[in-house]
Chain A
């Protein structure tokens, strides 16, 4: 691995990585059983420099902002490198947002360049294009021949006149603006510095090292902090390879393990549980004598790895299972949301290490990570090197808000000093999560202080952001809450959303009203849907500008009603 302490920016560190491991494979991109691309570090550099040249030619330089809107693929990383090479600020956007949401974040970020996949560009143009944004130049990848690009350029043809020059940046300079949420109301653009990333990379690779020959399977969106770090920066400063799949169908993900001999992968609880389900179904289908042998071997493995993992032994005992995972797997990382201890234990007993952790974009990816020393499925692990974790105002059980201080904590929220001041207090990042540090220094989480839910798919959902779907509902007023915010519960798990409604005088919950609610609810993606309603018979407290005072309303609800008052949809 490169010694990152000597670098002041990602551009320089990545450039040295590309030169040092020139002949190693750095990227493999596959679609179903086909392999689209396989690049060495040298070829990666050759693919990126023309784009860096084109950026230079259009005047793109230090501190200019460029957004990427692409699914996981090699051109994402190539484009990001070209942006860093020119000293620019990367704005990674979520390709799964609607075109309207993408445009709002583009406008907020003030990006002057957009690099976008063709199908996403088509959707964005159809939805009104770039109106209201600062984007001047657009490069589109993979456009079919003859396609109308609506003023954009072809990424594949991007090229400058001469050799572009690498622009050096300081550690405190901005590297990226990462949106942690805010598609509906208030965009939260986390401004990350080069120092944030370099320090995070040092911390993570200390625990889980990369080296040439390691293959990381990237299925989480690269615009997310975790994949950006473990699926790009980490491997690239260590000479490892990243495998991208163009389809995330579970069976192709499963096949990728043996085909590409995967070493590491990060995933969200939803995918991990799907893997668990698939394995359990296969175990259940075994003839009874084979199942007996398997269960005996699993029991033996559990016994022998109680103190610490023993990968070689587990691979030998449970060979078939490990071969299905390619035989080279060292760890899966799971985070972004709560993972049940039973799921983690299931994999650990098979000798498949699932390092669960806890992190947030604002903290620069991971704050804590399980180190298997020993395995503690009921916690999210210990703070990574360089992370200070404190529990604020702990109650009698030691539970309080988790605060984090580290060189990896973001600089600020873009153009939002008020929110920044609420979130970073005296150098400590207020996470809004409730936790406790146990005697061994492991962090346990107990829910959230904020009106927010985190889905199994790792998405942060702010209830107020989805209220627009219910606007015009024929009731006097309504408001959305996370049930666990209204009635905090000790423990994590299901995170239902509740619509609190206040009817007009004399109005009742008719079938027609219920139907309308159900129809509107269906317009939301499955993970954003409400699961129940709560009838409220008082006027909502409001500010002078008529905004609902949510905290006050929540307190009042908490005082007068409990969970049993929620009516399921």
Chain B
């Protein structure tokens, strides 16, 4: 079973890969819309990648209002 910091770390790794940005540019409390300059659809695409990595399904509404990596990691963690 992963711990929250592990989950968070993996999410940051996946995000860096997915959007081809250096991993060190991302930190847990970043607002991902702002840091990555992405829109809500691109965030949903990332979510699909994260889902398949963790082998879970997250309804779209779980992401409503989530804008930073830490909160996202908490939502993922609660489904692991």
Contacts and interface: CB of A to CB of B under 8 A. Distances in A.
A526 B67 CA distance: 9
B67 A247 contact: no
A489 interface: no
B64 interface: yes
A360 interface: no
A247 B60 contact: yes
B6 interface: no
Interface string B41-64: 110110110000000010111001
Contacts of A224: none
A249 B48 contact: yes
A35 interface: no
Interface residues of A, number: 19
B39 to A, nearest CB: 6
A250 B41 contact: yes
A244 B9 CA distance: 35
Contact of B41 (A96, A119, A270): A270
Contacts of A165: none
A117 to B, nearest CB: 9
Interface residues of B, number: 18
A246 B64 CA distance: 14
B10 interface: no
Nearest to A457: B40
Interface string A447-464: 000000000110000000
A274 B34 contact: no
Given A270-B39, A522-B67, A526-B40, A248 B45 contact: no
A533 interface: no
A531 to B, nearest CB: 11
Given A249-B44, A249-B48, A251-B48, A32 B57 contact: yes
The majority secondary structure among interface residues of chain B is helix
A250 B31 contact: no
B60 A119 contact: no
A526 B41 CA distance: 12
A32 B59 CA distance: 10
Interface string A112-127: 0000000100000000
Contacts of B41: 250, 270-271, 274
Contacts of A250: 41, 44-45
A365 interface: no
B33 interface: yes
A71 interface: yes
Nearest to B68: A522
A246 B57 CA distance: 12
A249 B60 contact: yes
B44 to A, nearest CB: 5
B57 A526 contact: no
B63 to A, nearest CB: 10
15 contacts: A247-B60, A249-B44, A249-B47, A249-B60, A250-B41, A250-B45, A251-B48, A270-B41, A274-B41, A274-B42, A522-B31, A522-B34, A526-B33, A526-B34, A526-B40
Interface of B: 31, 33-34, 39-42, 44-45, 47-48, 57, 59-61, 64-65, 67
Closest 4 CB pairs of A and B: A526-B33, A274-B41, A249-B44, A522-B31
